[in-house]
Structures are given as structure tokens and as C-alpha cells.
């Protein structure tokens, strides 16, 4: 039977590409965003809906009203800030027959806050860049530093500096900042699918060219150390479903861990089509897990050295002020 899936966050690459992948797998998609100008609302064949942003008090009623009317089989979110709200909607959505696949609240909290994430990883012995809050700046490592918002996304507000004094100024200019050791190396993302028994598949890809926080050129690779660190991250945070974990393989480990993990996003990653091109049935198996069927991890195997190049192009043009 054709599944009807509501996808939130279709203004960003993860949501946009998720809609297309679901359509290719035969699903009908309800494309949702809080911004009426979100490009994914204009994708062919979708039913488009605008809902209040997750930060808005009207979000809950708006989502429930939409789901009660449209009755999708499931909701898939690509908006991390929305996850705490969706956790609170799980029961009423289930009452409407709408399936969700959300990790426990602790996992959402750990992944939604870069300071908390660094602490959880350090506690579990997973290598992560040294991270301090502004009040502990005296304990920041020497050398190049990164200042970034602890709840940031898409690379927004990430700055670099050389001294603690500079970091202090940048902290004043950054919303809820953290200060982190700067890592030199090859950046990677792991597209992960963790089934309901906790078994995970991990697909590694280098982020060869990043624009606006999105890996526009990705290349799949194998690296047992990196895969092990990603698996340890998944276990430490307790995340389930689709998740993308980011990290670096250091150019010069110099006695330190060769692999470091910087963040985990509880959603599909913007470059996941690279993993699909490399042979992994990533969205197909995500759908199976969503509807409580066994995830076939054998179908998440992938070839290394498959390269994906994304580009911003014109989706459509129109006349008049319809939006
Ligand atoms: N500690 C770090 N060392 C080097 N580069 C970093 C570091 N932290 C962040 N960056 C760079 O900034 C980008 C965005 O940071 P990230 O922690 O992934 O936050 P988000 O993607 O949520 O905005 C990363 O993809 C990376 O290129
Ligand atoms: Mg990131």
C-alpha cells in the first residue's frame, strides 16, 4: 500500500532530498516547512503545507490540526529544534494513526546541544575536540580555537581565532557559545541507521566541499577506526533511527586519537544521496524501521569512492504573488 509521509523541513537539503527519495520509493509526500518560501514546497507531486515554527507556541496545535486533517501514515522530521516538540506530540499523533520514529529524549538533548554532546562523548571515552564554556575559557587549549553556538546548525555563527582573548570577544558576539579546539584534518559525515534493537549501519563519506554548512561534494570511503568511533558515539548518545555523525580524521595525530567526533544530528544528513549512490538502501531501510519492519543491514552495504556533487539550481519560476 502506498504510504503517505509528512516530511518537515523541506527548505533545507536533508528535507528536500528526503522528499525526492521517498517519492522514488513510491510514497506520497506531504511537504511541510515553517517558511512559505521553502523550495521543497514546490517539488512536483507533493502536497505542500506551512506550519508554525517549532519555537512558536502555535506549533503543537498547527501540527496536530494538519495531521488530523491530512492523516499521513508517518511524520519524518529533518528539523532538529523540532524534535523535543515532536517527542511531546508522539502520543496524540499515535492516536491519530500517525507513526513516528524518535529517539529517547536524552539522546535528543545530547545531540541538540554541542556542549552536552562533548560532555557525553568525553564521559564515554569517545574522542572529541576539547570543549569549554565561556566561563571556563582559561581552561581552553592553546592554539587555534573555534567559537560556535551550542545549539547552532548549518555552520552558522562558527568563527575561528588564535587567542583566548579573541575567543572572549567572539563569545560575546555568539548566542550561547562554546569554545573548541580547532581540528586539522579531513572532515567526514557518517550516514547512520540504528534499528530498534540498537544495531547500526554506518556509511562514511568525506565532506570534500562544504558550502553553507552543506557537504556539496561527498565521497564514500572505508575506515574501521572512524566507523568504530561513530558506533561508539551512537551507543553513548542512545540515538535511534536516522542520524548523521560528523567528525575529522586528523592530518597529524601526533599521539592523539586519529579520529575525532564533532557532532551528531538526529535526522538524515544533507549529503545522504552519496550513500544511496554507493549502493546503500538508506531511505528504503529507514522506511522499514519506521513502520516496525526489520531493517536489513545487508542492504546498507556500500562501495567506497563514490562521489556525489550537489548544486543549487533553479527549481521553478512563477508569476503573481501566490506565496
Ligand atoms: N573544532 C573544529 N575544528 C575545525 N573545524 C570545525 C570545528 N568545529 C566546527 N568546525 C567547522 O565548522 C562547521 C560547522 O560546525 P559544526 O560543529 O558541524 O556545527 P553545525 O553544522 O551544527 O553548524 C564544520 O563542518 C567544520 O567545517
Ligand atoms: Mg555540522
263 CB within 6 A, ligand 1: yes
Q: Is the pLDDT of residue 323 over 80?
A: no
DSSP 253: -
Q: Is the pLDDT of residue 288 over 90?
A: yes
Of all atoms in ligand 1, which is nearest to the CA of residue 184? 4
Q: How far is CA 312 from CA 13, 82, 211, in A?
A: 10, 25, 10
For a pocket test of ligand 1, which of 183, 262, 265, 271 has the largest count of ligand atoms closer than 8 A to its C-beta? 262
Phi/psi of residue 80, each to 5°? Answer: -65, -35
Q: What is the pLDDT of residue 252?
A: 86
- Please state, in angstroms and rounded to a whole number, the distance separating the CA atoms of residues 88 and 54: 12
Mean pLDDT value of segment 174-192 = 97
Give CA torsion, residues 294, 299, 301, 302, to 10 deg.
-140
> What's the pLDDT band for 94 if we cut at 50, 70, 90?
very high
For residue 163, the tally of other CB atoms under 10 A from its CB is 13
The predicted-structure confidence for 227-257, as pLDDT tens digits, reads as follows 999 999 999 999 999 999 999 999 988 888 9
SS (H, E, C) 142-175: CCCEEEEECCCCCCCCCEEECCHHHHHHHHHHCC
Q: Which three cell numbers stand for residue 43?
A: 517539488
Short-list 41, 9, 19, 14, CA closest to 315 = 41
Ligand approaching nearest to the C-alpha of 248:
1
Q: Is the pLDDT of residue 86 over 70?
A: yes
Q: How far is CA 200 from CA 55, 167, 317, in A?
A: 31, 37, 42
Tell me the β-bridge partners of 207: 218
State the pairing for strand pair 28-33/47-50.
Answer: parallel
- Between the CA of 265 and the centroid of ligand 1 the distance, in Å, is 12
- Please state, in angstroms and rounded to a whole number, the distance separating the CA atoms of residues 17 and 150: 26
Query: Could you tell me the strand order of the sheet in which 74-77 lies?
Result: 47-50, 28-33, 4-8, 74-77
- Between the CA of 193 and the centroid of ligand 1 the distance, in Å, is 22
Mean pLDDT value of segment 287-297 = 98
Q: What is the pLDDT of residue 221?
A: 98
CB 177 within 8 A of CB 151: no
Task: Please tell me the CATH superfamily of domain 185-309, with its number.
Answer: ATP-grasp fold, B domain (3.30.470.20)
Let me know if the fold of 4-100 is the same as that of 185-309. no
> What's the pLDDT band for 212 if we cut at 50, 70, 90?
confident
Short-list 306, 140, 127, 97, CA closest to 222 = 306
Domain map (residue ranges) of the chain: 4-100, 130-181, 185-309
- Please state, in angstroms and rounded to a whole number, the distance separating the CA atoms of residues 125 and 288: 32
269 CB within 6 A, ligand 1: no
Q: What is the pLDDT of residue 255?
A: 87
The predicted-structure confidence for 114-146, as pLDDT tens digits, reads as follows 999 999 999 999 999 999 999 999 999 889 999
Mean pLDDT value of segment 74-100 = 97
Sign (positive or negative) of CA dihedral 200, 93, 291, 308: negative
CB 234 within 8 A of CB 266: no
> Does domain 4-100 bear CATH number 3.40.50.20?
yes
CB 58 within 8 A of CB 84: no
129 CB within 6 A, ligand 1: yes
Ligand approaching nearest to the C-alpha of 132:
1
Q: What is the pLDDT of residue 254?
A: 86
Name the percent of the chain lying above pLDDT 90.
Answer: 93
Which CATH number is associated with domain 130-181?
3.30.1490
Q: What is the pLDDT of residue 322?
A: 67
Amino acid at each position: 500500500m502506498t504510504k503517505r509521509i509528512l516530511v518537515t523541513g523541506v527548505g533545507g537539503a536533508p528535507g528536500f532530498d528526503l522528499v525526492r527519495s521517498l517519492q522514488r520509493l513510491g510514497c506520497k509526500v506531504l511537504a511541510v516547512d515553517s517558511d512559505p518560501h521553502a523550495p521543497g514546497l514546490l517539488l512536483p507531486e507533493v502536497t505542500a503545507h506551512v506550519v508554525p515554527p517549532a519555537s512558536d507556541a502555535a506549533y503543537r496545535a498547527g501540527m496536530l490540526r494538519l495531521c488530523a486533517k491530512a492523516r499521513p501514515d508517518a511524520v519524518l522530521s529533518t528539523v532538529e529544534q523540532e524534535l523535543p516538540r515532536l517527542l511531546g506530540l508522539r502520543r496524540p499523533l499515535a492516536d491519530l494513526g500517525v507513526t513516528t520514529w524518535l529517539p529517547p529524549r536524552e539522546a535528543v538533548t545530547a545531540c541538540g546541544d554541542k556542549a552536552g554532546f562533548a560532555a557525553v562523548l568525553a564521559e564515554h571515552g569517545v574522542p572529541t575536540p576539547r570543549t569549554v564554556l565561556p566561563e571556563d575559557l582559561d581552561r581552553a587549549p592553546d592554539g587555534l580555537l573555534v567559537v560556535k553556538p551550542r545549539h547552532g546548525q548549518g555552520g552558522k555563527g562558527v568563527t575561528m581565532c588564535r587567542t583566548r582573548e579573541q575567543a572572549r570577544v567572539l563569545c560575546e558576539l555568539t548566542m550561547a557559545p562554546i569554545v573548541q579546539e580547532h581540528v586539522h584534518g579531513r572532515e567526514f559525515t557518517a550516514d547512520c541507521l540504528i534499528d530498534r534493537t540498537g544495531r547500526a549501519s554506518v556509511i562514511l563519506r568525506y565532506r570534500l566541499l562544504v558550502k553553507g554548512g552543506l557537504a556539496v561534494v561527498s565521497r564514500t570511503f572505508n575506515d574501521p577506526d572512524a566507523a568504530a568511533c561513530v558506533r561508539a558515539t551512537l551507543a553513548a548518545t542512545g540515538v535511534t533511527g536516522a542520524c548523521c555523525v560528523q567528525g575529522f580524521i586528523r592530518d597529524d595525530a601526533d599521539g592523539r586519537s586519529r579520529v575525532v567526533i564533532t557532532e551528531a544530528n538526529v535526522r538524515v544528513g544533507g549529503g545522504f544521496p552519496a550513500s544511496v549512490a554507493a549502493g546503500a538502501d538508506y531511505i528504503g531501510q529507514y522506511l522499514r524501521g519506521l513502520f516496525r519492519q526489520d531493517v536489513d543491514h545487508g542492504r546498507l552495504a556500500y562501495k567506497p569512492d563514490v562521489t556525489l556533487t550537489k548544486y543549487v539550481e533553479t527549481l521553478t519560476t512563477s508569476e503573481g504573488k501566490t506565496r
